Chains A and B, each alone.
Chain A
């Protein structure tokens, strides 16, 4: 009896190992937090179009995603929400040659809670007393925060707004702060605002110094180079672009 239990255990271990060995078609994709819903949808379409493949997504702000890749995280594809983060990856020779391409564009918007009493007509009104707390991403790690910083500098509001900032770890946290009404206003992407349509109200599109564009690239250390490039082609192809458009992204 004990022997057969032992055999069953062995068989079980073999099955688990065999399963782990069958990961030939698996892809790990680190993608900017603002891509969460769109990429999950693109991923499902890709898995359907390419039977046998399995995608794993890792969503966070672009900064920490890059830090993970720099530390050797087993990532195959990286999609960031700004060019600066991808430039840093390229500078560290982390990207597979010629795999980088822009695949989508977005816009920074100013949002307020849907129930807000005071709604600013322009950026300057944010300096008024009705807006005590304004959320954006941590500029050092979150592209949306960096775009915001640029835009505020352009509008000459940097000093006036300094004491009001509440920094989120990712653009989705900023969205959550606004949706909960914990802050009076916040800066997120147009596509994020669409997700919480009922809870946040878009006031205006913020002119940013650099265009909000999303680059994607295969990681040099990936063992799934071919599949990684296939996924990138899919994202940039008609099916991928149609899904991204449905989630509010525009063409690169």
Chain B
């Protein structure tokens, strides 16, 4: 009971961390630069949100599987094997939740008046200082809501995770997969119980994070 919950939180937190860092960087970059193929890159970054999770899972399997395009080298050079591990589940969850952070961050950065950044630059701030002390604080609300959604999405991730990390009780069996298995096995009482747990956790997370956001503003 607590193993799947703990595992779900661990996977979702780490996935949100990675998706958050990548999503913020990409959102920043895409909001500042215009280049040929800009909209194609934007579409590609949104792809994990619109693709069926099974398609994503299959892509990942072909990519990082033991004999996958990348996986065979990971295995041969470093002895790293991501399939059937919770780290694999983190990769799957991070990729599906990336678009949520990216979209939120990009919109938030685009809303920041460029004159503030310009003013900071004329006062001698470096680009990094402009980002950390001007753009980021002004965009923090949009980013935070993106992170919140990403976390919720990562917690609920199922399809790609099942394909990549499998269903190993105690190792990769997250709450959503535990619910699936309980239903498959006709174990309704356990399915209901797990469903209640995941619902309560999700509501708690959403309430706490919206409180935090309000407190800041």
Contacts and interface: CB of A to CB of B under 8 A. Distances in A.
B65 A180 contact: yes
B184 A63 contact: yes
Interface string A136-156: 001011000000000000000
Given A66-B186, A141-B184, A169 B67 contact: no
A64 interface: yes
A138 B184 contact: yes
B186 A70 contact: yes
A166 B164 CA distance: 12
Given A182-B66, A182-B84, A63 B168 contact: no
Given A133-B84, A165-B168, A167-B166, A180 B66 contact: yes
Interface in B162-201: 162, 166-169, 181, 183-187
When A and B form their complex, which 7 residue pairs have the shortest distance between CB atoms, in order from nearest?
A140-B185, A141-B184, A67-B186, A64-B184, A141-B185, A181-B67, A167-B167
Contacts, number: 51
A28 to B, nearest CB: 19
Given A64-B183, A141-B186, A181-B67, 19 more contacts: A61-B184, A63-B184, A63-B185, A64-B185, A67-B186, A70-B186, A138-B184, A140-B185, A141-B181, A141-B184, A165-B168, A167-B167, A168-B166, A169-B167, A169-B184, A180-B66, A180-B67, A182-B66, A182-B83
B184 A67 contact: yes
Interface residues of A, number: 19
Contact of B185 (A67, A181, A182): A67
A140 B84 contact: no
Interface residues of B, number: 17
A140 B184 CA distance: 8
Interface string A155-192: 00000000001111100000000001110000000000
A166 B166 contact: yes
Contacts of A180: 61, 65-67
B185 A138 contact: yes
B181 A138 contact: yes
B12 to A, nearest CB: 22
Interface of A: 61, 63-64, 66-67, 70, 88, 133, 138, 140-141, 165-169, 180-182
A177 to B, nearest CB: 8
Contacts of B66: 180-182
A232 B203 CA distance: 49
Nearest to B191: A67
24 contacts: A61-B184, A63-B185, A64-B185, A64-B186, A67-B183, A67-B185, A138-B167, A140-B184, A141-B181, A141-B184, A141-B186, A166-B166, A166-B168, A167-B167, A167-B169, A168-B166, A169-B167, A180-B61, A180-B66, A180-B67, A181-B66, A181-B67, A182-B65, A182-B66
A61 to B, nearest CB: 7
B84 A166 contact: yes
B190 to A, nearest CB: 10
A61 B180 CA distance: 13
A66 B167 CA distance: 20
Interface string B130-167: 00000000000000000000000000000000100011
B144 to A, nearest CB: 37
Contacts of B65: 180, 182
A164 B214 CA distance: 48
Contacts of A141: 181, 184-186
B181 A140 contact: yes
Contacts of A168: 166-167
